[in-house]
Amino acid sequence: MRTLGAACAPYPLCRIVSFESCRQASDKLLYPCNVREQLAKARRMHKGYRLKAGFWESIKSGILNNNTTQVVEPPSTLPEEEEEEPLPQELVLIQKTEPDGTVEEIIFSSGGDIDVYDLQALCDKVGWPRRPLSKLAAALKNSYLVATLHSVRKSPGSEGNDQKKLIGMARATSDHAFNATIWDVLVDPSYQGQGLGKALVEKIIRALLQRDIGNISLFADSQVVEFYQNLGFEPDPEGIKGMFWYPNILNNNTTQVVEPPSTLPEEEEEEPLPQELVLIQKTEPDGTVEEIIFSSGGDIDVYDLQALCDKVGWPRRPLSKLAAALKNSYLVATLHSVRKSPGSEGNDQKKLIGMARATSDHAFNATIWDVLVDPGYQGQGLGKALVEKIIRALLQRDIGNISLFADSQVVEFYQNLGFEPDPEGIKGMFWYPKLYK
């Protein structure tokens, strides 16, 4: 399997594996408003129509072509529109009987029940380099959704001694509100060619939609872009590029930042406490002092964030979902303006002027979302400082696979910060609900 160079990150990029071939500027908005509106409209659309090509019909069309496998379809106990937050479930996708009477079932589960040693063995089979078991366990624990495929073999006269083997997995990170990114889609090479990868991804999409998460993304190798397009994903929609960070950000850094000296060597700061840093300090003619303060402590008022989104022209989103997205982000970084007037001690004026956040599996991958700066404070390098600080915070936590989606107008801006678009042909893709129309 072709992988990205080891110099790109501490661990190779966790990429989408092919199921059928054994592998698979300044301060402008990171995420353009018109596409955000389009994706929001897509979320509303999926609530407004019933799925015409049902999941099980899709399973049959993918698995049964030139195949005599029996598909077992359990009856639904609830109308589809009521399945908003499904419990972890198991579904028998394939059942076949061998000449000696042995029955093999391929079982899909979204309950996240997976043994880390079994996962390591599966990664070995598809040719992925080994990763520390402790980090694999952390990634599984902190994924929003972990879906698995198991082969269960039942031999005649061996009741209670079923042979269960992990043959497929996919997982997703999310902010539990708006965005989800699918990672690590892989299927045992000896079980490829049966449509199991297609079934796995379709089921994850359905589970995310049922939880009202409509901005579903992934990074796909060029060889499987068409596969994902057939599942409703679009590469580079309206010029939005998927980008990965490469470790050259801290080389040519010209941002003027006022930083207190560190009391520990940087390599020891594995899990830094929330911090505040004064980035800019200036005094006005009347003696008023304004400080621009960066914080990674996630201290942000949802109403202040809504007001900031209004200023940059983003459509309003439900406050409850904004709060959920903030709560379930791995890192929330803010910029505040604090104005101190002479003789008004204790009455400082504090205003949110910038924000960015990241979702993560707490182990390998992080995706940066919602980078925005108050238009009245743009042009001072604050967006650059905000992103640089987030990258540094993620690296301090040993997360090296840092990605984002950037509008074509700001791709060069992020390249100057160390991000690369489409590395080795890997495409950032978004899901659109055309699959089920």
Residues 65-91 have pLDDT tens digits of 333 334 343 333 333 434 344 545 789
Residue 244 has pLDDT above 60, yes or no: yes
Whether 309 and 380 share a structural domain: yes
Per-residue pLDDT band at 357 (split at 50, 70, 90): very high
In a domain, 1, yes or no: no
Cβ-proximal residues to 247 (8 Å cutoff; 6+ apart), any chain: 7, 8, 9, 400, 418
In a domain, 335, yes or no: yes
Q: Which percentage of the chain shows pLDDT scores above 70?
A: 72
Per-residue pLDDT band at 354 (split at 50, 70, 90): very high
Residues 114 and 146: their CA atoms lie apart, in Å, by: 9
> Phi and psi of 283, rounded to 5°?
-115, 130
In a domain, 249, yes or no: no
Q: What is the largest CA-CA distance in the chain?
A: 91
Whether 286 and 234 share a structural domain: no
The pLDDT value recorded for residue 79 is 37
In a domain, 133, yes or no: yes
Q: Which percentage of the chain shows pLDDT scores above 90?
A: 60
Which range, of 57-61, 198-202, 383-387, averages the lowest pLDDT?
Answer: 57-61
Amino acid 339 reads: R
Whether 27 and 146 share a structural domain: yes
Nearest CA to 122 out of 214, 22, 50 is that of 22
On the CB side of 241, CA atoms within 13 Å amount to 19
Residue where a domain terminates, one of 192, 219, 238: 238
Cβ-proximal residues to 135 (8 Å cutoff; 6+ apart), any chain: 11, 363, 364
Whether 209 and 297 share a structural domain: no
Name which residue leads in pLDDT, 288 or 3: 288
The pLDDT value recorded for residue 268 is 44
Whether 271 and 226 share a structural domain: no
Whether 57 and 122 share a structural domain: yes
Whether 142 and 28 share a structural domain: yes
Residue 205 has pLDDT above 80, yes or no: yes
DSSP H or E stretch at residue 227: helix 225-229
In a domain, 141, yes or no: yes
> Phi and psi of 287, rounded to 5°?
95, -5
The pLDDT value recorded for residue 111 is 85
Per-residue pLDDT band at 64 (split at 50, 70, 90): very low
Residue 2 has pLDDT above 90, yes or no: no
The pLDDT value recorded for residue 424 is 84
In a domain, 156, yes or no: yes
Residues 363 and 392: their CA atoms lie apart, in Å, by: 15
Mean pLDDT (the chain) is: 78
Q: What does the pLDDT average to over 374-399? A: 94
* Contact criterion met (CB below 8 Å) for 414 and 383: no
Residue 134 has pLDDT above 50, yes or no: yes
Residues 93 and 95: their CA atoms lie apart, in Å, by: 7
Residue 3 has pLDDT above 80, yes or no: no
Q: What does the pLDDT average to over 207-230? A: 92
* Residues β-bridged to residue 327: none
Per-residue pLDDT band at 48 (split at 50, 70, 90): very low
Residue 147 has pLDDT above 90, yes or no: yes
Residue 255 has pLDDT above 80, yes or no: no
| CATH code of the domain containing 314 | 3.40.630.30
Amino acid 394 reads: L
Whether 208 and 320 share a structural domain: no
The pLDDT value recorded for residue 81 is 39
Task: Name the residue range of residue 39's domain.
Answer: 17-238
DSSP 67-133: --PBPP-PPPSS-GGG-SSPPP-EEEEEEEE-TTS-EEEEEEE-S----HHHHHHHHHHHTPPP--H
Structure confidence by residue, pLDDT tens digits, 302-331: 999 999 999 999 999 999 999 999 999 999
Residue where a domain terminates, one of 198, 223, 238: 238
228 is catalytic: yes
Structure confidence by residue, pLDDT tens digits, 168-203: 999 999 999 999 999 999 999 999 999 999 999 999
Whether 181 and 314 share a structural domain: no
Per-residue pLDDT band at 114 (split at 50, 70, 90): very high
Residue where a domain terminates, one of 219, 238, 257: 238
Structure confidence by residue, pLDDT tens digits, 414-433: 999 999 998 888 999 999 76
Name which residue leads in pLDDT, 174 or 214: 174
Overall number of domains in the chain = 2
Whether 41 and 179 share a structural domain: yes
In a domain, 398, yes or no: yes
Per-residue pLDDT band at 275 (split at 50, 70, 90): confident
Whether 163 and 300 share a structural domain: no
In a domain, 431, yes or no: no
The pLDDT value recorded for residue 433 is 61
Q: Which two tokens stand for residue 193?
A: 């060619």
Whether 211 and 292 share a structural domain: no
Given the residues 144, 191, 228, 330, the one annotated as active site: 228
